Structure 1
């Protein structure tokens, strides 16, 4: 079986990539990702059937997060990294399996207890190893064997289209959840219930006894834990770096050599800023790292000077003109076309690309960015591509501080409607829709945004309403949680019974799996009539799509004028 992937919005022909990923990943990498996910499912079955407790599993929990994160679209293109991770996860899986097998538990080496951080008394429930799913038992030693095995365990191995659709929807939601949980973990925060749910959900995707109704229920439960993950990360970010505040961010350049940091991980940014202090090297954010400027803790760094460029998909041209090194902390990597740019890209965490230097953390989570800094000193300063400033920092606490002003504007009719236009940006020409939509919105409307979708309109001069900017940027994709809190606060203030009674419309752009968990989280919170674009997910079968449409009012997009009339009741 050749590769098949349809986890992102750019799935070839709206159906799926079967030769090479539109994202740029090779068939080899796609298959290795499939096998890594299959291995995680096997681990999950052992944990669930062996009745192991997440609180006793130590580093196993953390490695599961990493494995899931590595397979997110545009995160990691390094086949060797996946081979290494599959080997590591297979060893952990086998040790877990042996531990819960009564016949082998007495022979577990003390080394294994230490490796996993397990307590001596953790032995689990006796299980019949031979009755476990193949995902918990298969063995591969070489890359060739891995690729051969992967050909039979990918997405299309599930023959029933509706079951396949629901299993993938759950899996993609779990991938997004794992990404947010790992960011929180990097800040020293974790919620054991998230690990327990990940094991439950991934094991369930192996269970042929589960009906479509069972999987629908699990899909909604995925949204519930998505809220938990985003709340955990929000608390971790704000607890360490303070609540985001209204901030003007420079989009021009200075004359110093510089480093461009992309992705989402704030701990990586903090370490980079600490290590560049006093070196004469400036630091600029790119794409989803832009909202870091809104946090008070980062404003003390004089060399944290601005944002360079736009959303992730424009990096091919923007990395050329930046001139200095680029540090990827997570997705979204576009495979570079030139060796010169590839030689300036560094990766860390779950990200990776062949030919790029990868920086690992030590045992305490510290990373040495000295190679990045030394390279920056040897290279030219960034070439200016634009000038001016953009405003952001409208996360929940900042908007709560403006609540009276916002409520008065709504009551007076100055603000007639809010439009949530959060989510992801992408390469498709059809995404110009979102720029045109923002431009055509009436002057008595306000856009609430988070994620890189904002780059379609955050540099437009859309004005303000009584001092309230018409584009309120809450931050990264995970900060869609802020938008949900803002909606719930408005519901409380206006004393409404249903969040859907608010004058809020949802016109969301999506691209990858973190957007999937945000969508499922919104559904769990009771939000209905969400419109997704520029296309509905290819992984939704007709029947599953109909369930979402009938139950939650999920819809696609049409022309700007038609949608404007629909949203505004014209």
Structure 2
């Protein structure tokens, strides 16, 4: 086991025996094997695509398989054994597609022909061939670090792509580009310039994927509306839905309608309360709890059934709620009931057997729903406020939250921002300060919740539109970025921001372990990325730059 993919890798180091997330060495090794095979699948799919051929089953399996390997998603060894078997089948299918299309199948890289076996003992023996540190001595930490940047960027992009795909939105060109970059990675490239170029290509691809996901969400559920979301529970039986999958949330709402069960969101699903197609369900009762890292406390205290729809899952065995927890989609934990075919009947039965909330808690609500359609709808007002000097600065403070020390930085920065500034926030990083009363400017709340981490697309569209209206570039705006990094979705969003040429991003609380000082220097030289430091010093630098 060698895992450096997220911030919780043994408190910033490398997980070699068991991950801080609870991932075991055998699961970590099988994830490596699965991804190596998926690069082989992409080799054939890419060569077929160059001949104008594609296979819908291969394209559908690809993002799902990659998604299962993200941090805090799937810990179930049996599921990975099955996925590896499917990957081998898909590789054979992709090869046949390429052959039938007349593609050149000479000079194939190792992942296209490698056979790791399918039994646990065979996979354990084969794992070193798929390990990300395999060529460390040959290629050095900077090249391996850049390959990991490509690998983890693809993981994040795959997750967003899967979210869009399950809602019926995918594009052949997106699938083809993913295969192309994955096939590039299969060659174990060593050219630093090419690795940096492909990292930025992932940023461009992820921008398109986030646009697809935005279209998927708004087509299915309507555009988010400014909504005062209830943050405290009401009396009654209950189900808590965590993760990111609004399609699963909709299905749960449909299947619980008329049962007397209230449904609550948790973590990154808080913005779901602002979509017309979801808030129309009267038993969507609001949000319960905070960000993903608080789930063990939140889930243990919740008196009903719990569904984890995507990342981020934490060990459920030590807090006494494992018998009330269900997984769905790519998520898995050994021994935890998994929902198949979108049949949530077991969840409903579990909720009905629990006590539920005995009484209403004192009502507390916070505003949300400031996605691009809402903000662009009042663009004239915003521009007028900027023109008159009522709003002097904009801050984008958000991203992936986590449990490590130093993340109070984002709360403290939000609290320290001048009262004549607006704060755009998204991702679970918002939970650091979204219940604080930071007031308003001319009736506009100073904290504008733009949604989930994938709704960075909304923030980007708003920034581009404001810059265009003011006749300047995005980097010329009084817009300052403080992004909390945690896992691979954040890596993909960061690469998208770099692809767009956005500079002076403050990133923290720690930088990715896989980025060596040399690689970091490349990013600093080209994009002026800045590690988060002292709040007041960082704020002074931001305001001085404005």
- Contact 1:347–1:359 (CA under 8 A) maintained in structure 2: yes
Unaligned 5+ runs, structure 2: none
Match of 1:320 in 2: 300
Match of 1:243 in 2: 223
Match of 1:94 in 2: 92
Equivalent residue of 2:366, what SS? strand
* Range moving further from structure 2, 135-144 or 24-33: 135-144
- Contact 2:264–2:285 (CA under 8 A) maintained in structure 1: yes
CA distance in 2, matches of 1:205, 1:304: 43
- Contact 2:238–2:351 (CA under 8 A) maintained in structure 1: yes
Deviation at 1:55, TM superposition (A): 5.7
- Contact 1:50–1:127 (CA under 8 A) maintained in structure 2: no
Deviation at 1:47, TM superposition (A): 2.4
Flag the 1:386–1:224 CA change in 2: closer, same or farther, 3 A. Answer: farther
Match of residue 56, structure 2, among 58, 61, 67: 58
Match of residue 501, structure 1, among 476, 493, 498: 476
- Per-residue CA deviations over 1:255-282 (Å, capped at 9, x if unaligned) read 1110000111111111110000000101
- Contact 1:244–1:296 (CA under 8 A) maintained in structure 2: yes
Deviation at 1:136, TM superposition (A): 2.9
CA distance in 2, matches of 1:22, 1:386: 36
1:364-375 matches, within 5 Å, as 367-375=342-350
1:138 aligns with 2:115: yes
Deviation at 1:345, TM superposition (A): 0.9
- Contact 1:275–1:369 (CA under 8 A) maintained in structure 2: yes
Deviation at 1:214, TM superposition (A): 0.9
Deviation at 1:135, TM superposition (A): 4.8
User: How large is the RMSD of aligned CA atoms in angstroms?
Assistant: 1.8
Match of 1:195 in 2: 175
CA distance in 2, matches of 1:287, 1:389: 15
CA distance in 1, matches of 2:350, 2:219: 33
Flag the 1:247–1:17 CA change in 2: closer, same or farther, 3 A. Answer: same
Match of 1:421 in 2: 397
Equivalent residue of 1:155, what SS? coil
1:158-237 matches, within 5 Å, as 158-159=135-136, 160=139, 161-208=141-188, 211-237=191-217
Q: Structure 2-normalised TM-score?
A: 0.96
- Contact 1:5–1:11 (CA under 8 A) maintained in structure 2: yes
- Contact 1:316–1:337 (CA under 8 A) maintained in structure 2: no
Match of 1:115 in 2: none
1:331-350 matches, within 5 Å, as 331-338=311-318, 340-350=320-330
CA distance in 1, matches of 2:446, 2:502: 22
- Contact 2:109–2:186 (CA under 8 A) maintained in structure 1: no
Q: Structure 1-normalised TM-score?
A: 0.92
Deviation at 1:199, TM superposition (A): 1.1
Flag the 1:416–1:183 CA change in 2: closer, same or farther, 3 A. Answer: same
Match of 1:296 in 2: 276
Flag the 1:459–1:186 CA change in 2: closer, same or farther, 3 A. Answer: same
Deviation at 1:7, TM superposition (A): 0.9
1:151 aligns with 2:131: no
- Contact 2:39–2:111 (CA under 8 A) maintained in structure 1: no
Deviation at 1:16, TM superposition (A): 1.8
Match of residue 563, structure 1, among 530, 533, 538: 538
CA distance in 1, matches of 2:526, 2:193: 13
CA distance in 1, matches of 2:13, 2:180: 28
- Per-residue CA deviations over 1:471-526 (Å, capped at 9, x if unaligned) read 10110000011000000010111111x11000100011011111111111111122
Unaligned 5+ runs, structure 1: 102-121, 362-366
CA distance in 1, matches of 2:51, 2:227: 44
1:125 aligns with 2:96: no
* Range moving further from structure 2, 452-461 or 42-51: 42-51
- Contact 1:54–1:195 (CA under 8 A) maintained in structure 2: no
- Contact 1:309–1:385 (CA under 8 A) maintained in structure 2: no
CA distance in 1, matches of 2:339, 2:424: 36
Flag the 1:13–1:292 CA change in 2: closer, same or farther, 3 A. Answer: closer
Equivalent residue of 1:408, what SS? helix
CA distance in 2, matches of 1:403, 1:423: 24
* Range moving further from structure 2, 302-311 or 374-383: 374-383
CA distance in 2, matches of 1:437, 1:190: 38
Deviation at 1:49, TM superposition (A): 4.0
- Per-residue CA deviations over 1:527-570 (Å, capped at 9, x if unaligned) read 11111000111111222111110001111011112112211229
- Contact 1:52–1:124 (CA under 8 A) maintained in structure 2: no
